[in-house]
Amino acid sequence: MIFRNRPLVRLGAAALLASGAFTVFGAPAQAAGTETDLAIDVVGTRVAEGASAKLAFAKVTNKGENTPSELGVRVDLSKVDFTKVAVFPFVEGECDEEEGGKGLTSVTCWADKESLPGPGETIDLPVALLKATESLDKAYSAPVNFTVLSKDDTNKDNNSKSATVEFTKESGADLAVMADDVKNAVTVKNGKIQVAGDLHAGDTAQLIYDVWNQGDRATAGFKVTVKLPKGVTFTETEDECEYATDKASLVCTYPELPFIPVEQWEGGDDVLPGGTFYHLLSVGANVKAGALTGGTVSVEPILPAKTLGAQSLKIKNMPENMAPLQETDLDPSDNTDGYAVVVAAKGGVGGGEGDGGGLPVTGAKAGLIGGIGVAVLAAGGAMFLVARRRRVVLVTPSDEKPAA
């Protein structure tokens, strides 16, 4: 059974707008020397009272020195009451499902071979959290367990993560952030950013991250803190941001950049549920090839002193490093995302001013590298979600299994 035969029926079809948002079907290829250490974490499992749906994420990070030949995630749903809520991986096509006496008990999805994470890299399995009724009479919670499956994994201690899915009776803003691993060099010519192949020591790169509001109340603005891996610095400065002396971290404050809840978005770019931001980075000339880890992006909402009127929700001055997505945060677990800067060994493709080629990367207010994925789901309202290249990746159909 494919997922659209389950609660996706009442959600409607997804409009997938990003290039490469979903990878093609296929079981992962086998390769020698693939032993590694895969670790899993789960974020974003708390839902505001006024939100009918939300995306949580199971994040799988490769902490080893090799790329695995296979990677799957098993989601144990045996404790979820599907008469009240629905919890399932939000992926294209089919995954393996197991049924029990009371219905669906688990779902297992395998990563396409093109999406397998290299050393230091992370891929994310989006998990849809949905109300099965118009509203819940009282708060509901259930444990859900996530397990990494890979014959190449050498450390089983970090292969499982239990999370409590909570449908609360609380209201509030609920910001989430997702940051791409940085893997390409870029050039900047005539104000346009262009991919220039693999990233090498001494090159310029681009960090890209999405911020959006999955709660049921608007923010007045937000603050973002970015920390870079060792050996990387910010290339240029922006007016809204304060930089550390070594230019290895920054704090940007946007007090007049309100984000409405995603379910309230009706399109347009003057009232927004979120946006894509970027910063240009400089990789040190003496940095060794490999994954530079430890980079993080964290967001914190700036909440309004009173309920915002329609005029106050309009974006008046959009930051130059942002592209629109045509109290405390309710769920802080998804307010921070890690990323790696992956530096290729010399002699590879691309890098440097003279390489040219690659995909065009437009500037602020027009979409960035790889595009932005937006799926609009009809569930008694509209739910907006972000789906980038590295995020929506676990898509193997049930009739294709990894080779033994």
Tell me, what's the pLDDT at 133?
A: 79
352 or 198, which is more confident? 198
Q: What is the pLDDT of residues 12-37, one digit of tens each?
A: 222 222 223 333 223 334 444 689 99
| 379-382: long-range pairs with CB below 8 Å, 24+ | 379/10, 379/11, 379/12, 379/52, 379/53, 379/130, 379/131, 380/52, 380/134, 381/52, 381/263, 381/264, 382/262, 382/263, 382/264, 382/265, 382/266
Tell me, what's the pLDDT at 9?
A: 23
Tell me, what's the pLDDT at 77?
A: 95
Tell me: pLDDT of 329 over 80.
no
Tell me, what's the pLDDT at 113?
A: 83
Contact criterion met (CB below 8 Å) for 282 and 188: no
Residue 260, classified by CB atoms within 10 Å of its CB into exposed (0-12), middle (13-18) or buried (19+), is buried
DSSP letters for 248-306: SEEEEEETT--B--GGG--S-SSSBSEEEEEEEEEE-TTPPSEEEEEEEEEEEEE--SS
Tell me: pLDDT of 275 over 80.
yes
Task: Tokens for 241, please give them.
Answer: 């941001």
Percent of the chain with pLDDT over 90: 40
Task: Tokens for 174, please give them.
Answer: 């609920």
Tell me, what's the pLDDT at 356?
A: 40
Q: What is the pLDDT of residues 38-75, one digit of tens each?
A: 999 999 999 999 998 888 999 999 999 999 999 999 99
- Report the top-level CATH class of 3-383: mainly beta
pTM of the predicted model as reported, rounded to 2 decimal places: 0.78
Residue in this structure with the two tokens 């499956």, named with its chain if needed: 149
Domain ranges of the chain: 3-383
Average pLDDT score over residue span 87-98: 78
Tell me, what's the pLDDT at 150?
A: 93
- AA identity, residue 83: T
Average pLDDT score over residue span 334-359: 67
Q: What is the pLDDT of residues 133-185, one digit of tens each?
A: 777 889 999 999 999 999 999 999 999 999 999 999 999 999 999 888 999 99
Q: What is the pLDDT of residues 249-266, one digit of tens each?
A: 999 999 888 898 888 887
Tell me, what's the pLDDT at 315?
A: 55
